[in-house]
């Protein structure tokens, strides 16, 4: 294989407070290696449409890279574009065109920063590259606030989002408890298939935490809330937007507008509102005041509460991606393993992206209380080092 001289990098899927730190790590790593780095505008979809940016010119010095590290959202833009299966109708024409464009642009390696669907992209490009004996190397750099990628202890973006969730939940708990009356607050947190982010609310110590890993039961919830209200005025419930009933249907399906579309990957395009449904249910059954608060996209863009641990790890994983490509690796995802929680430390490595793509890492069942209405101390111990501390005025409560 020829030495890597030019790297193409893109960002895909939902933004986070740390995804630009990974991009900064790629740019810094490429600069250290004397390699040119080109950015995709709006992910692989934008690249195929001819949209690129010279990152050396756009980020000319260390100050620009440092600013990028702390910038929220996806600086290059993003996309949700599903590559065709290799044996699908039209796949040969699609991949032939894509690889012709990689080669015409002189790309020796492609790094893609994203979550599960992005690792699917790397897996498919790598598989086609192997089929046609292409020398181009394909490396995935992980990110997702959902923390649901397998093959890694935790994903960049999760620590910062968890810090925001725990902080916002703490503040909402204080706000909910100011009146001398019975009331129930539902805090709705992102998480389609895995409850890692909703689980991070445990740092705020709400009364209940509801995750999608456990079948949701309306009667059990109402009964527990009623018991809590017998001895306290305020009940606070942190809940995942991905809660499902025994038949597998999302609670959100009861609240989204009829005809709501799905995205390229078959996901319901609008997954929100189950907190409003449950607030109405509990209020009607128990005759108490209820409120639903959706933290929504603030969870993934609140850079004012970014975790330093998260930003540092995201940056390093970007550098690891460059080093992997330089070493001749391909069809791999950059990863990290926790070696200690106290003092906190990690080691960086690579994993086969084929073992990551299209898999979902769930919260272990043993980290969820037996009745499914809260989480155990094990989840708190897992999350705590990643958020790098809550704001001082809340940590002292």
Helix 308-326 / helix 19-33 crossing angle, nearest 10 deg: 40
Q: How far is 83 from 328, CA to CA, in rounded Å? A: 24
Catalytic residue among 108, 120, 146, 310: 146
Task: Tell me how many degrees the CA angle 206-209-212 measures, rounded to the nearest 5.
Answer: 160
Picking from 143, 362, 73, 380, the residue whose alpha carbon sits closest to that of residue 238 is: 380
Query: Collapsing DSSP states into helix, strand and coil, what is residue 72?
Result: coil
DSSP 20-66: HHHHHHHHHHHHHHT-EEEEETTHHHHHHTT-EEEHHHHS-SHHHHH
DSSP 8-state class, residue 344: E
CB 379 within 8 A of CB 363: yes
Rounded to a whole number, what is the largest CA-CA distance in the chain?
72
Q: Is 108 a catalytic residue?
A: no
Looking at the DSSP assignment, which residues form a beta bridge with residue 349? 335
Distance, CA of 37 to CA of 7 (rounded, Å)? 5
Catalytic residue numbers?
Answer: 146
């Amino acid at each position: 294989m020829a030495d890597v001289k030019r790297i193409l990098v893109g960002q895909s899927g939902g933004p986070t407070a740390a995804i630009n730190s990974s991009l900064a790590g790629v740019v810094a790593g490429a600069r250290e290696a004397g390699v040119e780095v080109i950015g995709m505008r709006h992910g692989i979809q934008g690249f195929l449409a001819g949209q690129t940016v010279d990152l050396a010119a756009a980020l000319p010095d260390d100050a620009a890279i440092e600013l990028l590290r702390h910038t929220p959202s996806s600086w290059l833009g993003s996309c949700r574009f599903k590559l065709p299966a290799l044996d699908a109708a039209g796949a040969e024409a699609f991949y032939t065109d894509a690889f012709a464009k990689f080669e015409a642009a002189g790309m020796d390696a492609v790094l893609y920063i994203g979550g599960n669907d992005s690792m699917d992209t790397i897996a498919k490009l790598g598989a086609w590259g192997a089929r046609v004996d292409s020398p181009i190397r394909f490396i995935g750099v992980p990110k997702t606030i959902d923390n649901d990628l397998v093959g890694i202890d935790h994903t960049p973006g999760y620590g910062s989002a968890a810090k925001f969730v725990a902080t916002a939940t703490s503040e909402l708990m204080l706000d909910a408890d100011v009146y001398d009356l019975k009331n129930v607050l539902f805090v709705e947190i992102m998480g389609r298939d895995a409850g890692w982010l909703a689980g991070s609310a445990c740092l705020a110590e709400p009364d209940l935490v509801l995750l999608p890993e456990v079948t949701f039961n309306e009667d059990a919830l109402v009964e527990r809330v009623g018991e809590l209200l017998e001895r306290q005025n305020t009940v606070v419930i942190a809940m995942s937007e991905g809660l499902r009933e025994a038949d597998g249907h999302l609670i959100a399906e009861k609240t989204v507008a009829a005809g709501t579309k799905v995205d390229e990957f078959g996901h319901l395009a609008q997954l929100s509102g189950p907190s409003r449904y449950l607030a109405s249910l509990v209020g009607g059954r128990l005759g108490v005041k209820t409120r639903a608060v959706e933290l929504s996209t603030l969870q993934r863009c609140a850079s004012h509460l970014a975790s330093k641990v998260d930003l540092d790890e995201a940056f390093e994983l970007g550098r690891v991606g460059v080093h992997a490509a330089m070493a001749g690796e391909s069809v791999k995802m950059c990863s990290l393993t926790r070696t200690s929680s106290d003092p906190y430390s990690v080691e960086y490595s690579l994993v086969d992206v084929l073992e990551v793509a299209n898999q979902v890492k769930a919260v272990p069942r043993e980290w969820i209380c037996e009745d499914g209405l809260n989480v155990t101390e094990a989840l708190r111990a897992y999350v705590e080092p990643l958020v790098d501390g809550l704001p001082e005025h809340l940590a002292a409560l």
